[in-house]
Amino acid sequence: MTIAFIAHDGKKAEMVGFVKDYVELFKSKNITLIATGTTGSHLERAGLEVNKMASGPMGGDAQIASRIAEGSVDMVIFFRDPLGKHPHEVDVSMLMRLCDVYNIPLATNPAAAQRFVQTL
């Protein structure tokens, strides 16, 4: 199973806190983690092995979206900041649309992410 992690700047600390609650699960040999660049760096500091893409504004969201279209992502955990402005909003919208097109579970907040992870 491949899980993609993305977090807007204002949500990165919240993402790290969430990941720490499930660190042993995410370290499982059956789970591969990918993330946008900066989010991935934060997850590495939390003790996880992560395949990092570019940062979101530099195309990381699009890289993950591409992997969704290729069928190589099983779940996306994306802590978004709905109140902030993001220069790469077009990529964010594309990624979320592709999750719907390809029927990929997408958690955009900690409550949804917790429910998804509990099913693993």
- Report the catalytic residues: 61
Q: Which of 73, 5, 77 minimizes the C-alpha distance to 43? A: 5
Separation of alpha carbons 99 and 71, rounded Å: 11
- Contact yes or no for 2/47 (Cβ under 8 A): no
CA–CA separation, 98 vs 79, rounded Å? 17
Using an 8 Å Cβ cutoff, are 11 and 80 in contact?
A: yes
